[in-house]
Amino acid sequence: MQLTSPKFDDHELQLVKQCLDSGWVTQGPLVAQFEQVFAVRHQARYALATTSCTAALHLAIMALGLEPGDEVIVPAFTWVTSAHCAEYVGARAVFADVEFDTFNLDPQTLQAAITPRTRAVIVVHLFGLAAKMEEIMALAKRYQLFVIEDAACAVGTTYAGQPVGGLGDIGCFSFHPRKIITTGEGGMVTTDNEAWTNTMKSLRNHGATGFLQPAQQPAKPYHMGPFDMLGYNLRLSDIQAAVGLAQMAKLDGLLAERRRLAEHYTELLNDVAEIALPGAPEKCGHTYQSYVIRVRQGGMAKRNQIMEELDTLQIQTRPGTHAVHRLGYYAHKYELKPEQFPVAAACEDTTITLPLFPGMTEAQQQFIAASLKKALGSA
Ligand SMILES: Cc1ncc(COP(=O)(O)O)c(C=O)c1O
């Protein structure tokens, strides 16, 4: 049984066909529509589609004008690109440890990591659980830090009833197939700030600074328009946006199903003292992009043995994510010690992501729960 599986139906096919029939297949009317729908849903004034969440994070860092000498605080337990985006512009990714219970940034370790050079914090809503935004935003205000929300896993997640991605300065989302909705690869960046939006539009489009709207045309056929920035090609295609629009139309159903499946796992596993189940503190919404459990005792050896046993039963699992400070690039560059961020290290070593996908059956969940209990007993 696979870890995850996207849900497509005739709606995606219909919109993709409509796109192909129109002959306009790169960033055009469907991308604009996708952006509009996404912005409304996440209560942001602007949304820009990109090739990935990594591209969205890169654009966000550049729009904020971060540069060498600046420090950007990043949780130590996250996907690598939450940190890479700072390094892309020569800024320094500075790690802060996470909380065992939420896997998210600990506001206290965040505060301890702030220095006079800190300009921004990347707040990750890991596995679909909203980070403690009230405390984090209060710190950001106090120390005048930009807040980039890495909401790669958190399409549709709310904090105190408000969609994440619109709470900080800039929000970044992923449409990779393991995420809540997918366009194959793809991402979105959200903000209320018009100037940053215009910068990101240019950077996404080779650095073109002239025609920011798809409908804008040069005054003369021989005008090429200005390119005053060093930009990239980070544009989503209309074919992908067609899929994204169909996925957005299903979003509420997908979220409800994920929540139901997660709650059922919790019912099935609640009595197992050896593992910690995912929970959500007050105000923090959870969309269960991943259902990640933690093996309380026995460390990595026991966790690995359990995963291997599940593997022999064709149950695919993965560790939650990386302790980024232990990865070669960061460990070597900043001489970081594995034990420096102990919670992140323990989370990488002892977490297991269980399969959870739309269409999962009761029998599949029962089989996984029973197999896990058996593996725990024999490990
Ligand atoms: C927290 C987090 N940030 C960023 C990313 C990168 O997203 P993408 O693959 O769309 O670049 C991921 C992907 O797994 C992620 O989990």
174 CB near ligand 1 (under 6 Å) = yes
Percent of the chain with pLDDT over 70: 98
- Relative to the CA of 185, which ligand 1 atom is closest? 10
Query: What is this structure's pTM?
Result: 0.97
Tokens of 309: 């046993």
Residues 6+ apart with CB under 8 A from 295: 274, 275, 302, 303, 306, 350, 351, 352, 376
Tokens of 377: 């007993």
**120 Cα: distance to centroid of ligand 1 (angstroms):** 19
Mutation choice for ligand 1 from 104, 125, 129, 176, CB with most ligand atoms inside 8 A: 176
**304 Cα: distance to centroid of ligand 1 (angstroms):** 24
155 CB near ligand 1 (under 6 Å) = no
187 CB near ligand 1 (under 6 Å) = yes
**49 Cα: distance to centroid of ligand 1 (angstroms):** 15
Tokens of 371: 């197999």
- Relative to the CA of 153, which ligand 1 atom is closest? 16
Count CB-CB contacts under 10 A for residue 149: 29
From the CA atom positions of the chain, what is the Rg in Å? 21
Tokens of 21: 């029939």
| Helix and strand element counts for the chain (H, E) | 13, 14
Q: Which helix (H) or strand (E) holds 53?
A: helix 53-63
Mutation choice for ligand 1 from 4, 54, 183, CB with most ligand atoms inside 8 A: 54
With 0-12 / 13-18 / 19 or more C-beta atoms within 10 angstroms meaning exposed / middle / buried, residue 373 is: middle
Residues 6+ apart with CB under 8 A from 18: 242
Mutation choice for ligand 1 from 81, 84, 175, CB with most ligand atoms inside 8 A: 81
Cα–Cα dist 124/105, whole Å: 7
Residues 6+ apart with CB under 8 A from 253: none
Would the CA dihedral through 326, 328, 332, 333 be positive or negative?
A: negative
Cα–Cα dist 191/8, whole Å: 29
CA 45 vs CA 36, 151, 190: distances in Å: 9, 17, 8
Percent of the chain with pLDDT over 90: 94
Task: Kindly report, residue by residue over 235-291, the tens digit of the pLDDT.
Answer: 999 999 999 999 999 999 999 999 999 999 999 999 999 999 998 999 999 999 999
Phi first, then psi, for residue 169 (nearest 5°) are -80, -45
Active-site positions read 179
* Ordered per-residue pLDDT tens for the chain, 379 residues: 999 999 999 999 999 999 999 999 998 999 999 999 999 999 999 999 999 999 999 999 999 999 999 999 999 999 999 999 999 999 999 999 999 999 999 999 999 999 999 999 999 999 999 999 999 999 999 999 999 999 999 999 999 999 999 999 999 999 999 999 999 999 999 999 999 999 999 999 999 988 666 566 777 888 888 899 999 999 999 999 999 999 999 999 999 999 999 999 999 999 999 999 998 999 999 999 999 999 999 999 999 999 999 999 999 999 999 999 999 999 999 999 999 999 999 999 999 999 999 999 999 999 999 999 999 986 5
- Relative to the CA of 174, which ligand 1 atom is closest? 10
The residue among 361, 359, 343, 376 whose CA lies nearest residue 96 is 343
**172 Cα: distance to centroid of ligand 1 (angstroms):** 9
CA 259 vs CA 28, 226, 263, 278, 356: distances in Å: 34, 48, 6, 12, 10
291 CB near ligand 1 (under 6 Å) = no
Task: Kindly report, residue by residue over 350-367, the tens digit of the pLDDT.
Answer: 999 999 999 999 999 999
351 CB near ligand 1 (under 6 Å) = no
**79 Cα: distance to centroid of ligand 1 (angstroms):** 6
